[in-house]
Amino acid sequence: MNDAEISAAATLEPVADVAHRAGIPAEALIPYGHHMAKVDTASLAGPGQNGRVVLVTGTNPTPAGEGKSTVTVGLTDGLNLLARADDAPDAWAGKTAMAALREPSLGPVFGMKGGATGGGYAQVVPMENINLHFTGDFHAITSAHNLLCALVDNHLHRGNELRIDPRTIALKRALDTNDRSLRQTIIGLGGRTESVPRESGFEITVATETMAVFCLATGLEDLKERLSRIIIGRTYDRQPVTVGDLGLHGAQGAMAVLLKDALKPNLVQTLGGSAAFVHGGPFANIAHGANSITATNTARRLADVVVTEAGFGADLGGQKFMDITAVAGGFPPAATVIVATVRALKLNGGMSPEDLDTGAEHGDQPSLEALEAGVANLARHLENMAAYGVPVVVAVNRFPQDTEAELDWLTGWCARRGVPAAVADVWARGGEGALKVARRLVEVLPAEEEESGWHSLWTDDMTVAERIETVVTQIYGGAGVEYTPAARYQLDQLVAEGWDHLPVCMAKTQYSFTDDPAVLGAPEGFIVTVRDLALRPGAGFVVALTGSVMTMPGLPRTPAADSMDVDSSGHVTGLF
């Protein structure tokens, strides 16, 4: 059965029952159909618990993804099974875990095959709804963002009182579809009565600063405050013009009107019956790549442990979670789970991508060689995550083509290094397949009353350049940073305008520790080139672009859309 068939065959509990078991009172539940609901956090009673946050991250992946979402879901189910098991560890007996995940974007759903709701028997459900329009959050974010764009162009049309130089407007309209033909556009054509013609374009909704702001906001007031800080463009004297400068009181109020319901986190269930929040979904390159802070913080009020995931590998999503998301959300992570796969490590060890799926047929020996060479990639991610002061566990996500010899070798390698590790067989077996990893995790998890040893690698007094240098040398393992002349100019400008204290959001290829996707393994001595520094005051960071980053993806030659259909009874096929 494929993911959609597994999801469709499952017997789902009414969302009211899921909510009841999670401790969410009926008055806080806003159902969207039978199996999805928004939760009005204002109606939750008291402060509740103070759940510990477990981050699921990964090694540098193969293009297919290594199963971070899948393991996040399976591990949550595994933790809940373990809590009710006869031989549950004392510290975990009777406890609860919830998952917090990002919402899927329609771009990848219809573009490249692969959903964002987990896979196999470790999924959040109903996967069809979650992968499509869900509760409409992305439509709301798209609308709020495009409203802002319309207000800006109306301002230009009505006389441009703020003296915005149209050539400096970086804001682009948004669409949650992969559509390369909209990357560069000319808008405002048609003469005097239309608008002011200018060059513009579209970006995918998940790449907008509005999405990043939505996910980092701690509540409605913070949302408005952050939106008001978004820079629209610059005046003819190069002074920044913000959302807060528009109209009588800024455009943040109108944008928040469109976002107020979307900001409430979405409750669904996993195939194993655990409660899960699926909410927000910023890009993991030009943004921080984690679900909304409102979802994680709401889950913390309801469960003992919140298992959450950050996009891309530990060098990107993991680093940003530790240095940006955890700080903005006010939750010190309690432990990290690194998802490793035999496939990705063999790729990092030099095996060609075509051979990855035929490991067992090629016999153990050649595969072990590549695995032994590629494990250096995992070793560096382990050291990096340990540097944040929280315990690390390795979950070896088992794929059908993995051999026992490979899995044994990898868990043995972890054991020799003293790293807690176990095979996660969640794709095939759901929560049952995560019990071993759940045990390893519970063993290292600090007690509730114990303070997490987490600390950011940055200190408050660090400059933007020092923060970039820290990430490149301490996380990527590089020798240093170079700036293109354009980026050097932008760095000087950040200093001159007083933005030099902001955190940095690194935009880099997910495939390599370097800025070159072809350099795999654990390279050393390389230089990372920063090409652009983009100020995002709403999100509260400066984006440092290394290499080229696409903010409006295109469709592949054979998009997933080609295989999709719906029959007369409304039954969808081809979703994965």
Binds ligand ADP (CB under 6 A): choice among 7, 69, 80, 348? 69
Report which DSSP code applies to 12.
Answer: P
Is 95 part of the annotated catalytic residue set?
no
Nearer to ligand ADP, 72 or 269 (CB): 72
Is 508 part of the annotated catalytic residue set?
no
Pairing of strands 421-424, 392-397: parallel
Report which DSSP code applies to 317.
Answer: I
Nearer to ligand ADP, 357 or 372 (CB): 357
Structure tokens at 443: 């063993």
Nearer to ligand ADP, 73 or 217 (CB): 73
Least spacing, CB of residue 93 vs ligand ADP, in Å: 29
Binds ligand ADP (CB under 6 A): choice among 7, 59, 62, 70? 70
What number of chain residues touch ligand ADP (CB under 6 A)? 19
**Mutual angle of helices 252-259 and 220-229, in 10-degree steps:** 140
> Residues 519, 75: contact at Cβ < 8 Å?
no
* Rg, Å, the chain Cα set: 23
Least spacing, CB of residue 333 vs ligand ADP, in Å: 18
Q: Is 476 in the site for ligand ADP (CB under 6 A)?
A: no
Is 300 part of the annotated catalytic residue set?
no
Residues with Cβ within 8 Å of residue 247, at least 6 apart in sequence:
151, 155
Nearer to ligand ADP, 49 or 70 (CB): 70
Least spacing, CB of residue 65 vs ligand ADP, in Å: 3
* Secondary structure (3-state) at 275: strand
- Which contiguous run of DSSP H or E holds residue 240? strand 240-242
Q: Is 521 in the site for ligand ADP (CB under 6 A)?
A: no
> Which residues 422-441 are close enough to bind ligand ADP by CB under 6 A?
427
Q: Which of 38, 52, 95, 102 is catalytic?
A: 102
Q: What is the CA 5 to chain-centroid distance, rounded?
A: 26
Q: Is 313 in the site for ligand ADP (CB under 6 A)?
A: no
Least spacing, CB of residue 207 vs ligand ADP, in Å: 17
Q: Is 102 in the site for ligand ADP (CB under 6 A)?
A: no
Structure tokens at 269: 């269930």
User: Nearest CA to 335 among 381, 392, 419, 384?
Assistant: 392
Nearer to ligand ADP, 66 or 406 (CB): 66
DSSP-H helix ranges across 399-434: 404-416, 426-429
> Residues 515, 528: contact at Cβ < 8 Å?
yes
Q: Is 511 in the site for ligand ADP (CB under 6 A)?
A: no
| φ/ψ of residue 13, rounded to 5 | -80, 150
Report which residue's Cβ sits closest to ligand ADP: 119
CA torsion sign for 206, 210, 211, 213 is positive
**x/- letters, 182..221, toward ligand ADP (CB under 6 A):** ----------------------------------------
Which residue's structure tokens are 């408050």? 460
Nearer to ligand ADP, 98 or 395 (CB): 395
Nearer to ligand ADP, 58 or 349 (CB): 58
Residues with Cβ within 8 Å of residue 544, at least 6 apart in sequence:
464, 468, 487, 504, 505, 506, 507, 530, 532, 533
Q: Is 541 in the site for ligand ADP (CB under 6 A)?
A: no
Nearer to ligand ADP, 4 or 171 (CB): 4
Is 70 part of the annotated catalytic residue set?
yes
Binds ligand ADP (CB under 6 A): choice among 66, 176, 209, 245? 66
Q: Is 59 in the site for ligand ADP (CB under 6 A)?
A: no
Pairing of strands 202-204, 173-175: parallel
Least spacing, CB of residue 121 vs ligand ADP, in Å: 10
Q: Is 65 in the site for ligand ADP (CB under 6 A)?
A: yes
User: Nearest CA to 380 among 262, 486, 526, 266?
Assistant: 526
> Which residues 355-414 are close enough to bind ligand ADP by CB under 6 A?
397-400
**x/- letters, 110..149, toward ligand ADP (CB under 6 A):** ----x-x-xxx-----------------------------
Least spacing, CB of residue 427 vs ligand ADP, in Å: 3
User: Nearest CA to 166 among 178, 180, 155?
Assistant: 155
Q: What are the Cα distances from residue 401, in Å, to 119, 155, 342, 357, 370? A: 16, 58, 9, 6, 15
50, HSE (Cβ side, Cα atoms, 13 Å): 11
Structure tokens at 404: 């026992």
* Secondary structure (3-state) at 173: strand
Nearer to ligand ADP, 118 or 538 (CB): 118
Site residues for ligand ADP per CB under 6 A: 3, 58, 64-70, 114, 116, 118-120, 397-400, 427
- Residues annotated as part of the active site: 68, 70, 102, 113, 284, 312, 399, 427
